[in-house]
Amino acid sequence: MELKETQIKWIIGLSNGETIKENEGIASSGQEFSPWWSLQNYIKENDLKITSLYLAKGNKHFNLPSIKPKFRGDTPIGYNCFTRVATDSLVGSSANDEYYRCAEAIYKDFKVQLYVDEKDDNKSWVNIVRI
C-alpha cells in the first residue's frame, strides 16, 4: 500500500531555539530518510532535545505539552510522530482508507497520543497509553 502525502505537518521546537517544520530544511522529504528520522539524526549529531511538538494544517494547531507546560502539567521526556492508516483494501478499493496523523508526548509510565483525521481536521482524539 502506498501512503499519500500527509496534509498535517509536525512542527518541532528544539533546545537551541530552532523551529523545524516537516518537509523544510533538514527535515525535507527528499532526503534518504523520512523527515522524522532526518530530524532524529540532526538532534543526535548536534546533542539537542525536542522542547515542543505540535501538528498543524493551515491555521489550525494541535498542541502537545511542551518542556514548559502551559497549564502546569508534567514535562514529557520524549516525543514521537507517525501516520496511522485504517484500511480494508485487501477486499477491494482503498477509497475508504482512513489516515490519521499522531503526535506523542512520552512520559515515564505513559504516553499521550494526539490523533488528527487527515480527511477532516475538525476531528481529533487523545489517548493515554500505559507503557
Beta carbons of 12 and 55 less than 8 angstroms apart: no
- The pLDDT score that the predictor gives to residue 1 is 44
- The pLDDT score that the predictor gives to residue 33 is 75
Q: What is the pTM of this model?
A: 0.85
Beta carbons of 48 and 41 less than 8 angstroms apart: no
- The pLDDT score that the predictor gives to residue 31 is 65
Strand, coil or helix: what is 76?
A: coil
- The pLDDT score that the predictor gives to residue 6 is 75
Across 1-131, the runs of DSSP E, i.e. the strands, are 9-14, 19-21, 50-57, 60-63, 78-86, 98-106, 110-117, 124-130
Residue 36's φ and ψ, nearest 5 degrees, are: -65, -45
Q: CB count, 10 Å around CB of 72? A: 6
Q: For 37, which DSSP code?
A: H
Sole residue written with cell 546533542: 47
pLDDT in tens, the chain (131 residues): 455 667 899 999 999 999 999 998 888 766 677 899 999 999 999 999 999 999 999 999 999 999 887 788 899 999 999 998 887 666 666 667 788 999 999 999 999 999 999 989 999 999 999 99
Taking the C-alpha atoms of residue 67 and residue 79, their distance in angstroms, rounded to an integer, is 11
Instruction: Burial-class residue 42 by CB neighbours within 10 Å (0-12, 13-18, 19+).
Output: middle
- The pLDDT score that the predictor gives to residue 45 is 96
